[in-house]
Amino acid sequence: MLYLNYVTNLCAFTLLCLCVIEANGLHYNIFAYERYNGKIQERQVQTLIDEFTATDIPIETDTNTKSTTAFVSKSRVKTLAVQQTTPISASSRTSNSSNYKIDSITPSTSDPKVTLDLDPKDGICQFTNRRKRPIQLSISIGLDRKIATTESITTWNFSAHNFTNDELLYAALVMLEHTLKMPELEPWRMSTESLTGFLLASRSAYNAFVPYHNFRHAVDTLQACFIFLIRLGRIPSFPDMKIELSSQSSTLAETIRPYDALTLLITAIGHDIGHPGVNNAFLTTLNAPLAQLYNNRSVLESFHSVAFSQMLRCHWPSVFQTKEMRQLMVNTILATDKDLHSEYVKKLARINENIISANTSANNSAQLSPGELRTFACALIMKCADISNVARNFEIASLWAVILTDEFSRRVAMGKEMGISSALLAPPIREIAALGKSQIDFIETYAYPLFDGIAEVMPALSFCVEELMRNKLIWKKLIIEN
């Protein structure tokens, strides 16, 4: 059941980008490998995907009818309907062969009640049987929980796992509305109802079956960005906020305008949208359509940026129509690609060296234009926020570590079923000592060089380095004890 759900959703995901860009509302016929009744089988799957809406509700797979309903909307249904089943042997596949292939792209005619209408302005196919009256959007959260949620987002000890999905959405709403109060951001303001609709649509586009890269991680990243920007003085703090603001100035941080700060917060919400729970190497090895589309370069990050752009087109048009804002969003999402991490750390090191040796400002230390420097500063903040859970207090950081390990374990299990070389997959971690070693390795290899380098040019974020070192010591102690 796990593999049927997981692989089917992965197949839908790999074609989602194509649907969003070129053909919303079109059927795609693909072949997917699945585990069903104890056998590896090849299934021809027909996918119908249109643009995201705030009324979409994910539901489970119906194995009795052998049909997976990906989303149920109040106005329409999106389905993955299995057309045929052919048992195959695992040995018939190689890691170099294409495990997914597009069979055909044809307009939907299966449901006579649903017709497609091509908008000549953007070339996006849309359903014509939409409700004429807007659906009331709301979330379920009591006053006491609203207060608790608001208080939590103002501290670095924010633990996303202490809140329900609606409470997380409310947290995101509060952070966005607080930022949008800045007078410079008036052109991008929306009503609370519209913002809620945008957040509901974003949440529905994350896969609930993915343990780590889901909406909870998105809000956690958003809250980290929010705290960073407040500490850097880029957005105002909350009244009575218990955060020590740094008195040390940062030329690099001062390049970030309110406009850029808002873009960072919006980007954090959608930076992993539609994540399937596997990495770029997994998709590249499968030769999945998405990997082919982006030539095996920043595959997931490219998908996230394109899919989220279309989300904004539907639910926050003023942001989508602002070209500079959209470009910054794309650049900061691409910066989260793990394969590009060393490039950013080296570039940051060069800036630090030039500032120290030449006693120059960040504006001319790396021969970057003001716009390039601003984009680089925003990319650094997004990168830190994306992996910020390792710099939270240990109780929170360790919980995120366990959840990420669960996602890795599922990836390994699925990889074995699909014949992917074990050399490309890390073995699942089931012991405290092994988990501690993996976390220390991540801190030393990725997190510390990034946070330490940023603390040099943005001293207000040095508290993250202190948290990292504390967590590293605790992990070392646990390794010795176990």
- More confident position, 392 or 120: 392
The single-letter DSSP state of residue 136 is: P
Q: What is the pLDDT of residue 109?
A: 32
CA–CA distances in Å: residue 437 to residues 267, 389, 444: 32, 16, 11
Position 429 confidence tier, pLDDT thresholds 50, 70, 90: low
Question: What is the SS3 assignment for 62?
Answer: strand
Q: What is the pLDDT of residue 351?
A: 84
Q: What is the pLDDT of residue 1?
A: 45
| Count of the separate structural domains present in the chain | 2
Q: What is the average per-residue pLDDT within 223-244?
A: 89
Same domain? 122 vs 158: no
- Asked if residue 297 has pLDDT above 90, the reply is yes
- Asked if residue 275 has pLDDT above 50, the reply is yes
| β-bridge partners, 45 | 30, 82
Q: Where are the alpha helices (DSSP H) in 362-462?
A: 370-386, 394-417, 432-442, 448-457
Assess contact for 393 and 228: CB atoms under 8 A: no
- CA dihedral sign of residues 274, 276, 281, 285: negative
Q: What is the pLDDT of residue 400?
A: 97
Same domain? 300 vs 175: yes
**Neighbour count for residue 218 (Cβ, 10 Å):** 26
Q: What is the CATH number of the domain that holds 238?
A: 1.10.1300.10
The Cα–Cα gap between 419 and 378 comes to: 39
Structural domain including 48 reads: 2-127
Please count the residues of the chain: 482
Does some domain include residue 17?
yes
Region label for 233, one of left (φ > 0), alpha (ψ between -120 and 50) or beta (otherwise) = left
Same domain? 168 vs 110: no
- Asked if residue 444 has pLDDT above 90, the reply is yes
Does some domain include residue 10?
yes
**Neighbour count for residue 259 (Cβ, 10 Å):** 17
Q: What is the pLDDT of residue 306?
A: 96
Same domain? 335 vs 212: yes
Same domain? 380 vs 328: yes
Does some domain include residue 134?
no
Q: Is 51 exposed, middle or buried (0-12, 13-18, 19+ CB in 10 A)?
A: buried
